């Protein structure tokens, strides 16, 4: 089974984190929400407390590592050496590395954006000194997938399924995303 | 402060529930996630465990009562007599009653759809014997707001803010929803 780790720090953006986990599990990806705060529960940017599946560093390797944004969640991810090491290891192993909203700042610190194109929440590109910034809703550059904010979380999650070789088109229909974004969503 | 109750049963749809809570809190509404299972934690349709703020029946009245969908969450809400009583009381008091996806089946059992227009996830209208079904992404009929599925959760949440007299337009921009759904979203 394809396995993905979604890293949660206190202050994670709830819509982003939960949308990623929900969609990937619907699509047949085994997802672990990994706490990076050394505890078993993580508190989101808007006070929603979620139970993590495990703590970062206690599980087997994954096929993908995915970072939701949020304040101060994305800063906590960027400043966590274990998170940076996990990103670098995933990238070196050729796995999927992904982040959205403010969280690409962690990818920047990890150095995995060099020579690649990425996107992020407007303005955070000023805190990233490697990689080429683009304004698309979702940017896929090889095994790097990035996106912009809560409103783009579903588009990001479907792009992650595509990148992991799963069927996103059926879910886009079943989840009624096509009613809102249409078949012409700017992905 | 405007206060809203979001009712959670085991098997709730995570994107729907979390999107509603996140957006309403961003918009200045005081939101309590109320567990309807008699416990302090509730487990979603895709295995995500969320800590409730309180249990249904233990808090002061609200200005709105909102039901996310999910399987078997929506059925559990419909079959819970305390949920039905809460819906009927809110409706009788002139408060906002709202549900999405499969959860309008609970509104049907409560009898609050009679003489009104609503929407739901495709097919669930067959289980509802009062009210007039419509296929819009979000249906607002006075103090009744309904919507269709995970892909319409943001549109639903912004419509709830509108109905509660809060500013949704700024959030639609800040959360980058307009990048995906555009200004012409079918709301």
Residue A23: its chain B contacts at CB < 8 A? 15
Segment holding A172, helix H or strand E: helix A169-174
When divided into structural domains, chain A yields a total of 1
Q: Domain span at residue B34?
A: 3-181
State pLDDT tens for residues B3-54. Answer: 999 999 999 999 999 999 999 999 999 999 999 999 999 999 999 999 999 9
User: Coil, helix or strand for A73?
Assistant: helix
Query: In this complex, do A180 and B185 lie within 8 Å of one another by their Cβ atoms?
Result: yes
For residue B56, give Cα distances in angstroms to A7, A31, B16, B35, B40: 31, 30, 19, 6, 10
pLDDT at B182: 63
Contact B14 A33 (CB under 8 A): no
Q: Smallest Cβ distance to B149: which of A22, A151, A176?
A: A176
Q: Which residues contact residue B160 at a Cβ distance below 8 angstroms, ignoring those fewer than 6 apart?
A: B4, B20, B23, B24, B64, B66, B96, B98, B145
Strands B138-141 and B144-147: antiparallel
Q: Which residues of A touch B124 (CB under 8 A)?
A: none
Q: What residues form DSSP beta bridges with B97?
A: B65, B144
pLDDT in tens, chain B (187 residues): 999 999 999 999 999 999 999 999 999 999 999 999 999 999 999 999 999 999 999 998 999 999 999 999 999 999 999 999 999 999 999 999 999 999 999 999 999 999 999 999 999 999 999 999 999 999 999 999 999 999 999 999 999 999 999 999 999 999 999 999 964 444 3
User: Residue B38's domain is classified under what CATH number?
Assistant: 3.40.50.880
Entry pTM: 0.97
The yes-or-no answer on residue A101 being catalytic is yes
Place of tokens 């549109």: B155
Q: Is the dihedral of CA B86, B161, B59, A17 positive or negative?
A: positive
Side-chain-side CA neighbours of residue B151 (13 Å): 27
Instruction: Note whether A176 contacts B25, CB cutoff 8 Å.
Output: no
Looking at the complex, report in whole angstroms how far the Cα of residue B37 sits from the nearest Cα belonging to chain A: 17
ipTM of the shown complex: 0.96
In three-state secondary structure terms, A77 is helix
Asked if residue B187 belongs to a domain, the reply is no
């Amino acid at each position: 089974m394809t396995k993905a780790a979604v890293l949660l720090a206190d202050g994670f953006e709830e819509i982003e984190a939960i949308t990623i986990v929900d969609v990937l599990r619907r699509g047949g990806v085994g997802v672990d929400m990994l706490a990076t705060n050394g505890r078993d529960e993580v508190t989101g940017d808007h006070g929603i407390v979620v139970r993590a599946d495990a703590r970062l560093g206690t599980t087997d390797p994954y096929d993908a590592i995915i970072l939701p944004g949020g304040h101060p969640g994305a800063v906590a991810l960027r400043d966590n050496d274990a998170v940076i090491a996990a990103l670098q290891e995933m990238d070196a192993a050729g796995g999927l590395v992904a982040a959205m909203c403010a969280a690409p700042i962690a990818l920047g610190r990890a150095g995995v954006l060099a020579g690649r194109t990425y996107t992020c929440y407007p303005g955070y590109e000023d805190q990233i000194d490697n990689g080429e910034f683009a304004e698309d809703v979702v940017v896929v550059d090889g095994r790097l997938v990035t996106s912009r904010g809560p409103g783009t979380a579903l588009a990001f999650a479907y792009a992650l399924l595509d990148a992991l070789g799963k069927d996103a088109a059926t879910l886009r229909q079943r989840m009624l995303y096509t009613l809102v974004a249409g078949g012409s969503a700017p992905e």
